[in-house]
């Protein structure tokens, strides 16, 4: 999912089975949880920070700790992102952590992903290059299903689901410290044929 910070803004969702991606927009936490239940998914991939930096006890306290180890590793790779303590990111982080706890309480495996970074690793455009360019990039990797009308939030959700499929196929790497939370990223250097084969290998699962 491409999670919004508040329920009044759109959250992009994608259910991925094999090559087929079904995308839509949700708003409330309950809709997100119900989508996971209905899809009987193997893993929920969330585009939102799901943990705090070491040394920071809450999002509200004044603290010099702004970056997690996974954030620093993204910076070292030249991948841009917004820190968890930056303005609206605090609201998103709080919602992400709350949803993670609820989903895990229902038995779902939850991972943190970063679609923009995943798109960089996979060699396809980010949404800032235009919705059509991102859609064509996803389709070049074998993904089917996002329509030409899919929003940029839905296309980022499709990227999150694609990352989850690569996670299930073992074609991923984890950045960061498990004590703070890790970001799951696609394994570098994957070819489109390898991505397609990974998607097909998870055909019986849902992401």
pLDDT at 63 over 70: no
Q: Which residues make Cβ contacts (< 8 Å) with residue 40, sequence separation at least 6?
A: 206
Measured between alpha carbons, how far apart are the two ends of the chain, in Å? 10
Digit-coded pLDDT (tens) for 96-117:
999 999 999 999 999 999 999 9
- Residue 146's nearest CA partner among 38, 47, 4, 19 is 19
Question: What is the DSSP secondary structure assignment for residue 7, as one 8-state letter?
Answer: T
Q: Give the three-class secondary structure for 99.
A: helix
Query: In the structure, what pLDDT confidence band is assigned to residue 173 with cuts at 50, 70 and 90?
Result: very high
- The pLDDT of residue 65: 65
Do 177 and 69 touch, CB atoms closer than 8 A?
yes
Residue 123 pLDDT = 96
Residue 123 phi, psi dihedral angles, 5° rounding: 75, 30
79 pLDDT tier (thresholds 50, 70, 90): confident
Confidence of residue 201 (pLDDT cuts 50, 70, 90): confident
Domains (range + CATH), the chain: 11-201 (3.30.420)
Residue 94 to residue 90: CA distance in whole angstroms: 6
Q: Please state, as a whole number, how many other Cβ atoms lie within 10 Å of the Cβ of residue 62.
A: 5
Closest Cα partner for 56 from 92, 93, 109?
93
pTM comes to 0.90
Q: pLDDT category, 203, cuts 50, 70, 90?
A: low
Report strand pairing: 43-46 vs 109-113.
parallel
Among the listed ranges 24-38, 72-86, 121-135, 154-168, which one has the minimum average pLDDT value? 72-86
Collapsed DSSP state (helix, strand, coil) of residue 90: helix
Instruction: Please tell me the distance from the alpha carbon of residue 189 to that of residue 202, in angstroms, as a whole number.
Output: 20
User: Residues of the chain with pLDDT > 90: what percent?
Assistant: 71
**Contacts (Cβ under 8 Å, ≥6 apart) of 170:** none
């Amino acid at each position: 999912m491409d999670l919004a910070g508040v329920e009044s803004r759109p959250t992009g969702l994608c259910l991925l089975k094999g090559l087929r991606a079904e995308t839509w927009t949700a708003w409330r936490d309950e809709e997100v949880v119900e989508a996971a239940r209905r899809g009987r998914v193997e893993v929920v991939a969330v585009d939102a920070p799901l943990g705090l930096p070491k040394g920071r006890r809450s999002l509200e306290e004044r603290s010099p700790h702004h970056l997690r180890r996974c954030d620093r590793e993204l910076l070292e790779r030249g991948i841009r992102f917004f820190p968890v303590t930056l303005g609206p990111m605090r609201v998103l982080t709080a919602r992400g952590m709350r949803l993670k706890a609820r989903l895990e309480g229902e038995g779902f495996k939850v991972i943190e992903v970063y679609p923009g970074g995943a798109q960089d690793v996979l060699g396809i455009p980010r949404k800032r290059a235009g919705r059509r360019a991102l859609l064509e990039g996803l389709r070049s990797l074998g993904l089917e299903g996002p329509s030409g009308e899919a929003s940029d939030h839905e296309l980022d959700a499709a990227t999150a689901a694609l990352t989850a499929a690569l996670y299930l196929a073992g074609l991923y790497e984890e950045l960061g410290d498990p004590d703070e939370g890790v970001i799951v990223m696609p394994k570098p250097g994957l070819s489109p044929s390898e991505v397609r084969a990974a998607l097909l290998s998870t055909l019986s699962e849902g992401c």
